[in-house]
A and B are shown apart, each in its own frame.
Chain A
Amino acid sequence: QVQLQESGPGLLKASETLSLTCTVSGGSLSPNYWSWIRQPPGKGLEWIGYVYYGGSTKYSPSLKSRVTMSVDTSKNQFSLRLNSVTAADTAVYYCAHLELGMDYFDSWGQGTLVTVSS
């Protein structure tokens, strides 16, 4: 299994853009699907979307208008951008490998807490 590591700012102000990167080691981005999942403090898991190594994407309907995901195969990284954040976007953000078709996540990053202050 691959190893994943999230990185990015841990504190944002309301209306700013959240930007996170996930670095994949021990394997290649191709030909795989990669996902972002978040978990507000004390709450359950919420799927944000996935990006294919070739660049195609699919986003959660509830976040689609604010989300952009991309890949950088040269760095073996993929990224998440979430615009116009509010306090409701405060959560631990996980990156994960998605086995599409069977739809399960078999490798996860350790997660990074992003706090949005008002």
Chain B
Amino acid sequence: QSVLTQPPSVSAAPGQKVTISCSGSSSNIGNNYVSWYQQLPGTAPKLLIYDNDKRPSGIPDRFSGSKSGTSATLGITGLQTGDEADYYCGTWDNSLSAVVFGGGTKLTVL
């Protein structure tokens, strides 16, 4: 059971928009920065979003992040088949004194 809760799967058609939620508590998301990672099949995770809503260089602006209270959201617009991957949220947990991740969300682009 992960500390952060994500939907196991989401799907949408090419060109459409999808959002992935990440729910936590005041000991983690509520008081810390959230990051998001994309893991393409058979590869290492890749940083997509950091500090709740910032994109590293090279990450297209189709990817966006937001945070409100104890939840965070990853948005992806203009979906492409190449976006099919597992997506993870992560943050620090003050009670556990540890980095925690969500269980991951599998994105299918139909």
- Chain A interface size, as a band, is 20 to 34
**B98 → A minimal CB distance (Å):** 5
Chain A CB within 8 A of B71 CB = no
Are A44 and B101 interface neighbours, CB within 8 A? yes
Q: A46 to B4: give the CA distance in the assembly, Å.
A: 12
Are B97 and A58 interface neighbours, CB within 8 A? yes
Q: A46 to B50: give the CA distance in the assembly, Å.
A: 18
Q: A100 to B44: give the CA distance in the assembly, Å.
A: 20
Are A105 and B100 interface neighbours, CB within 8 A? no
Q: A110 to B44: give the CA distance in the assembly, Å.
A: 5
Known: A103-B90, A103-B92. A47 touches B101 (CB 8 A): yes
Chain A CB within 8 A of B35 CB = yes
On chain B, the residues within 8 Å of A53 by CB distance are: none
Q: Spell out B's residues near A (CB within 8 Å).
A: 2, 32-33, 35, 37, 43-47, 50-51, 56, 88, 90-92, 96-104
Q: A44-B2, A45-B104, A102-B50 are known; give 6 further A-B pairs, CB within 8 A.
A: A44-B103, A47-B101, A102-B51, A103-B99, A105-B35, A110-B43
Q: Spell out A's residues near B (CB within 8 Å).
A: 35, 44-47, 58, 60-61, 94, 98-99, 102-106, 108-111
Can you list 6 A-B contacts (CB < 8 A)?
A: A44-B88, A45-B88, A61-B97, A103-B32, A105-B47, A111-B44
